[in-house]
Structure 1
Amino acid sequence: MSHHDHHAHEAHEAPSDAPADIRDLYSQATWDTRYAESDRVWSGNPNPRLVEHVADLTPGRALDVGCGEGADVVWLARQGWQVTGADVSPVALAKAGAHAAEAGVKDSVELVQVDVIAGEALPGGQDLVSVQFFHPPAEMFVEVHRRLGAAVAPGGHLLVVGHHPDDLATGARRPHGPDLLFTPERVVAALDQADWEIVVVAAPTREHQHADGPVTVRDTVVLAKRR
């Protein structure tokens, strides 16, 4: 599954025939259909908060959760990271593999199918886990973020970026609803403070090209270092 914003598309935008059970929005079938509908769902550019907060980190092993078509995977590999891209959709993973090959970084990239919502294990021992615009169901929020954090090696970083609840007022996040958007403080509260040094807690704004015209949106950003 991809939740990547990339400035050009609505992250985790629900299909027009969204199922009544919100968990179906996270399923392989839903996202395989989404990725098969067009050559490219996202812009192909790396998420700007990833670039902003990771560019100065020492490259090592990185995991991109919900890698989609692989823009962030490719950017990380170009910076010298050994990258694992994880997604629920094999269709997305095939596109990510093609992107990595075209970019000449396929030897630095591994792609794995993982259903995070179903509790499937993520590859551990990572120096960086990047989670861009992944909005789990509210009742699973703490559990999911602790499992994401568990994939980070001691001394490694967890970067969580999401849509802030302030965006409800813009009309840009209609598919999400109030239960899926979250503040940076909520991410911090989900992490065991004994295990983490919180490096960044922020809610910056940026311009977003919405279907109804440009709007100012707010991102939730948390960067934490595992002790």
Structure 2
Amino acid sequence: MSTPDAKQHWEEHYSARDRIWSGRVNVRLSEIATTLTPGRALDLGCGEGGDAVWLAEQGWQVVAVDIAETALRRAADEAAARGVADRISFQQQDLSTGFPEGEFDLVSAHFLHSTFPLDRMPIFAAAARAVRPGGMLLIVNHSGPPPWHAELDHHNTFDAPQDIVAALNLPAELWETAEIRSVEREVTTPEGKPFTWFDNVIILRRR
């Protein structure tokens, strides 16, 4: 598929409602980032900016990337409203065809799933290359689609975390696998029923 098709897909996704996401930071990111000294962070697929704005509030300088102009506009408005616009550089980019320049102390790829065809492994490989020595790569994925949206697996991939790490094939002398785990998360179905979902967490540290 061409890049304009991907952009159109995500523009339609974000334009469908005034807000798609909660605006809150992802829990796994907050758990990890609060243990680190703030530096330079890269947020891949930043959406409406929940993670990027929170990181900036914690003292990070952030590059936040998304393909959708609507999402980036909302994220920039949120950053301005919370007084951290000067700490975030928002960039529109199709990660399947390009990648932000520079090195980062933290690269975060949270729920980089897609209902549009997307090969994620080259993106994860580029993310690893963007981590500076001593920095960290954080990848968080859903373990599978929720039962009320089973059709989401049409283009989404829900790789086991061990398979992602194996595919990256990072040199052991340069990288340490700090953590691979599956974490329970309690959510509510559209019908209001409780549901236990699992997130796969991968933390890789460059030596």
Q: How does the TM-score come out when normalised to structure 1?
A: 0.81
With 93-102 and 33-42 compared, the bigger mean Cα shift is at 33-42
Which of the residues 157, 168, 189 maps onto 1:180? Answer: 157
Match of 1:11 in 2: none
CA change 1:191–1:43 in 2 (3 A) is same
1: CA distance, partners of 2:84 / 2:141? 27
2: CA distance, partners of 1:122 / 1:192? 22
Q: Deviations over 1:109-158 (max 9, x none)?
A: 110011012x2122321111100000368983432211121111111111
Match of 1:73 in 2: 52
With 154-163 and 128-137 compared, the bigger mean Cα shift is at 128-137
RMSD: 2.3
With 103-112 and 144-153 compared, the bigger mean Cα shift is at 144-153
Which of the residues 28, 32, 35 maps onto 2:11? Answer: 32
2: CA distance, partners of 1:186 / 1:201? 11
Q: CA deviation at 1:70?
A: 0.5
Are residue 134 (structure 1) and residue 112 (structure 2) matched? yes
Match of 1:4 in 2: none
| 3-state SS of 1:174 partner | helix
CA change 1:142–1:36 in 2 (3 A) is closer
| 3-state SS of 2:105 partner | strand
| 3-state SS of 1:30 partner | helix
Match of 1:122 in 2: 100
| 3-state SS of 2:150 partner | coil
Unaligned residue ranges in structure 2 (runs of 5+): none
Q: CA deviation at 1:172?
A: 4.6
Are residue 105 (structure 1) and residue 81 (structure 2) matched? no
Match of 2:198 in 1: 218
1: CA distance, partners of 2:85 / 2:127? 24
Equivalent AA in structure 1 for residue 158 of structure 2: L
CA change 1:145–1:180 in 2 (3 A) is same
| 3-state SS of 2:55 partner | helix
- Do the aligned residues in 2 keep the contact of 1:124 with 1:150 (CA within 8 Å)? no
Are residue 192 (structure 1) and residue 172 (structure 2) matched? no
CA change 1:171–1:75 in 2 (3 A) is same
Q: Percent identity?
A: 38
| 3-state SS of 2:197 partner | strand
1: CA distance, partners of 2:149 / 2:35? 31
Equivalent AA in structure 1 for residue 103 of structure 2: G
CA change 1:98–1:141 in 2 (3 A) is closer
CA change 1:208–1:172 in 2 (3 A) is farther
Equivalent AA in structure 2 for residue 191 of structure 1: L
2: CA distance, partners of 1:187 / 1:196? 14
Q: CA deviation at 1:190?
A: 2.4
1: CA distance, partners of 2:18 / 2:26? 19
- Do the aligned residues in 2 keep the contact of 1:61 with 1:83 (CA within 8 Å)? yes
CA change 1:171–1:199 in 2 (3 A) is same
Match of 1:163 in 2: 142
2: CA distance, partners of 1:193 / 1:120? 21
